[in-house]
Amino acid sequence: MSLLQVEKMCKDYGGLKALSGVSFSMEKGEIVSIIGPNGAGKTTLFDCLTGYIPKTSGKVVFDGTDITAYPPHDANKAGMARTFQQIRLFPNLTVMENLRVGMHSHTRGGIWAGIFHPAWYRKQEELCYRKGLAILALFQERLLPRVDQKVMELSYANRRRTEIARALASEPKLLLLDEPAAGMNPHETRLATDLIRELRDKGNTILFIEHDMSMVMSVSDRIVVLDHGVKIAEGPPSEIQKNEDVLEAYMGRREHAEA
Amino acid sequence: MKKLSYALIRCAPILGALLFFCTLPLYVRSDYILRVFVQIGIYVLLTSSLNIVNGYTGLFSVGHAAFFGLGAYGSAIVCTKLNLSFWQGLPTGMLIASLAAYVIAKPTLRLKGVFLTLVTMGSNMIIMLVFLNWDSLTGGSLGIMGIPMPEIFGTKFLRPLPYYYLIIVADILVIVLLDRLMRSRFGLTLKAIREDERAASCNGINVARYKTMAFVMAAVIAGAAGSFYAHYYRYISPEAFNFTESFIIVTMLAFGGPGNILGPVVGAAILVGVTEAFRAFADYRMVFYGTLLVLMMIFRSKGLLGGREYSLTITWPPVKKTVYSKGDRFLDTEKEENDEPAAG
């Protein structure tokens, strides 16, 4: 039983087919990366998976449940957490508050608990705080000293890290990272690669989009290649590197190149 | 014993404020000043409730006077037609306001930005027109007269003093509870929606549900303010709840500082105070408010108190901040990291 099963996912924008019949599946504990030229439909695929935009057709089965029609908050509750290509944090909240919002799905407490702070609520908040620190510890000196800083005061790389931390805070069964190394320098990209490895060793399942080939080739178990909304290849890194279709999608046809 | 003293120290600012306002009538023996305070108190309730919607949830409602009016009319009608007392009229007003808010919010909170603003404006106008034209129930443009004054243990609130105490207690209660609430999971959720609605939904927040809750909560408090208003002036008419009134509340909030627990207090106190001080120019009130709003947006768009949040309680005993040493391993990268990201 695979963790995620995507069947014939289609998304049309009027006449434009952003995704046409993309199918793939993921096992628990796997790291799968999605690559493809710009405009291939990678982010659209993420958006469709998490219910962020409605799908035209297709089916998503996640952890044995059909989540095709789930809105984003239900998809999150089911165990999917994502980051965005353009960072979408809560800029006026602190790092810890951002993480606390990430834990929304598996905590409770509405208006009454908020006003009266009963014992169970205080205990829950205490636990959340400690869990938040444990997650931030993954990023060590990068984020730990900045727990009470507003996110908008952080550097770009730290904001990316905070976003990953926020996604981890929801204890996801599947982590979807949209270009975790975008805009980072080679050193930071290396740190991000190490982080993804560390997350895998902790038993996380990760699906990520990335343009940095050194990162993609070194951490992924499998690669899915998209071009113009169609899956053109799937397989381990060594196979994808040799795949003719993939080369063509990235470099253009041989005769064109020679002409 | 130790626990109690800690609790007292924590609540010191609140207790101080309570003590100050409760003893104020001992030094200020003018009914006029107390009346101004009551008026400020009613606006503090209104502005604080709008703060939940506009300041914390990041919606932009400009129809808040509708719920103020529903609370006032609801309370006034049950008291005059059914001969009930203020203490029964108050919850009725709150209930009617909250029901109306739910009916308006449920289908429309999926709208975003300016469309939602237009809906709140429209619903304010509709509700005002209902007050104006449902003659048999609301008395039309003549309004409702002879609303009973509140009574407590058989003593009527003949002078403004008991009313002053009533409104002070209501204000402090609402502010303290909102302060607690806005620093809880619920408040954080509202703030997350304000900061980034789509990111909030991807983090498991049912945005429409929380927006509705915020809207209804604001209406409940505005309804209570309406009931206080009706039983204080003892006469209400539709003009008091038209769009201009909503605009005044929005101005007070924008002036004081939205998203700040004390912003509404500052905004309401200063704007009511200034209006009273320049009573001779009362006709130019809206010109003054409009100019003020324009100037605030240009020079201090986050309001007088700014975007900072204040806590009403003191953290006691003081918490030691954990000091994290900078690992040597990371020091070498600290500089390049804080630089602007390289392109691509």
B236/chain A closest Cα distance in angstroms: 32
Cα B340 versus chain centre, distance: 41
ipTM of the complex: 0.90
State the pLDDT confidence band at B332, using cuts at 50, 70 and 90. very low
Which residues are within 8 A (CB) of B306 and not within 5 positions of it... i.e. 6 or more apart? B257, B260, B300
Which residues are within 8 A (CB) of B297 and not within 5 positions of it... i.e. 6 or more apart? B254
Can you tell me the mean pLDDT for A137-149?
A: 84
Q: Of residues B342 and A146, which shows the higher confidence score?
A: A146
- Cis status of the peptide bond prior to A91, with omega within 30 of 0: no
Cα–Cα distance, A93 to A126 (Å, whole number): 18
Q: Which two tokens stand for residue A58?
A: 């297709």
Residue pair B255/B304 in contact (Cβ under 8 Å)? The answer is: yes
Q: How many CA atoms lie within 13 A of A201 on its CB side?
A: 7
Q: Of residues B317 and B246, which shows the higher confidence score?
A: B246
State the pLDDT confidence band at B294, using cuts at 50, 70 and 90. confident
Q: Of residues A118 and B344, which shows the higher confidence score?
A: A118
Residue that the structure tokens 């991807």 belong to: B202
Q: Does A86 touch chain B (CB under 8 A)?
A: no
Residue of B nearest to A107 (CA): B185
Supply the pLDDT for residue B341: 46
With 0-12 / 13-18 / 19 or more C-beta atoms within 10 angstroms meaning exposed / middle / buried, residue B4 is: exposed
Cα–Cα distance, A29 to A33 (Å, whole number): 13
Question: For the segment B213-228, what is each residue's pLDDT rounded down to a tens digit?
Answer: 999 999 999 999 999 9
Residue type, B152: I
Supply the pLDDT for residue B169: 92
The answer, yes or no, to whether residue A143 has pLDDT greater than 50, is yes
Measure CB to CB from residue B196 to each of A88, A117, A140 and give the nearest one: A88
What are the start-end ranges of the E strands in B265-342?
A: none
**Cα A65-A71-A74 angle, rounded to 5 deg:** 55
Q: Does A210 touch chain B (CB under 8 A)?
A: no
Residue of B nearest to A106 (CA): B204
Instruction: From residue A117, give the alpha-carbon distance in Å to each of A239, B207, B300.
Output: 56, 23, 35
Q: Which two tokens stand for residue A15?
A: 């006449």
DSSP H stretches of helix in chain A: 42-49, 72-78, 95-102, 111-116, 119-136, 156-169, 186-201, 213-219, 237-242, 244-251, 254-258
Instruction: From residue A33, give the alpha-carbon distance in Å to each of A169, A170, B121.
Output: 22, 21, 48
Three-state SS at B316: coil
Residue pair B94/B223 in contact (Cβ under 8 Å)? The answer is: yes
Supply the pLDDT for residue A129: 92
Taking Cα atoms as reference points, which of B61, B63, B53 lies closest to residue B245?
Answer: B63
Contact B326 A141 (CB under 8 A): yes
Taking residue B94's Cβ as centre, other Cβ atoms within 10 Å add up to: 24
Cα–Cα distance, A251 to A242 (Å, whole number): 13
Supply the pLDDT for residue A256: 54
Query: Kind of pairing, strands A65-66 and A230-235?
Result: unpaired
User: Chain A contacts of B201, Cβ < 8 Å?
Assistant: 52, 71-73
Supply the pLDDT for residue B2: 80
State the pLDDT confidence band at B321, using cuts at 50, 70 and 90. low
Which one of A50, A53, A70, A73 makes the best mutation probe of the B interface by having the most chain B beta carbons within 10 Å?
A73
Question: For the segment B232-273, what is each residue's pLDDT rounded down to a tens digit?
Answer: 999 999 999 999 899 999 999 999 988 889 999 999 999 999
Taking Cα atoms as reference points, which of B65, B91, B48 lies closest to residue B263?
Answer: B48
Cα–Cα distance, B211 to B216 (Å, whole number): 9
Question: For the segment A175-233, what is each residue's pLDDT rounded down to a tens digit?
Answer: 999 998 888 888 889 988 999 999 999 889 999 999 888 889 999 999 999 988 889 88
Question: For the segment B99-152, what is each residue's pLDDT rounded down to a tens digit?
Answer: 999 999 988 877 777 888 999 999 999 999 999 999 898 888 899 998 888 888
Which residues are within 8 A (CB) of A120 and not within 5 positions of it... i.e. 6 or more apart? none
User: Chain B contacts of A88, Cβ < 8 Å?
Assistant: 196, 198-199, 202
Supply the pLDDT for residue B337: 45
Q: Does B212 touch chain A (CB under 8 A)?
A: no
Supply the pLDDT for residue B238: 92
Residue type, B333: T
The answer, yes or no, to whether residue A59 has pLDDT greater than 50, is yes
Measured N-to-C along each axis, helices B207-233 and B65-81 cross at an angle, to the nearest 10 degrees, of: 50
Supply the pLDDT for residue B309: 73
Can you tell me the mean pLDDT for B44-58?
A: 94
Q: Mean of the per-residue pLDDT values for chain B?
A: 86
User: Chain A contacts of B337, Cβ < 8 Å?
Assistant: 155, 157-158, 188
Residue pair B42/B171 in contact (Cβ under 8 Å)? The answer is: no
Q: Which two tokens stand for residue B106?
A: 């449920």
Q: Of residues B334 and B76, which shows the higher confidence score?
A: B76
Question: For the segment A29-51, what is each residue's pLDDT rounded down to a tens digit?
Answer: 999 999 988 888 889 999 999 98
End-to-end CA distance of chain A: give it in Å, rounded: 49
Q: Does B184 touch chain A (CB under 8 A)?
A: yes
Q: Is the pTM of this model over 0.90?
A: no
With 0-12 / 13-18 / 19 or more C-beta atoms within 10 angstroms meaning exposed / middle / buried, residue A42 is: buried
Q: Does A184 touch chain B (CB under 8 A)?
A: yes
Question: For the segment A88-111, what is each residue's pLDDT rounded down to a tens digit?
Answer: 999 999 999 999 999 999 898 889
Question: For the segment B176-214, what is each residue's pLDDT rounded down to a tens digit?
Answer: 999 999 989 999 999 999 999 999 999 999 999 999 999
Residue pair B336/A185 in contact (Cβ under 8 Å)? The answer is: yes
State the pLDDT confidence band at A79, using cuts at 50, 70 and 90. very high
Q: Which helix or strand (DSSP H or E) is residue B251 part of?
A: helix B243-256
Can you tell me the mean pLDDT for B154-159?
A: 79
Question: For the segment A147-177, what is each residue's pLDDT rounded down to a tens digit?
Answer: 888 999 899 889 999 999 999 999 999 999 9
Supply the pLDDT for residue B334: 42
Can you tell me the mean pLDDT for A1-20?
A: 88
A182/chain B closest Cα distance in angstroms: 7
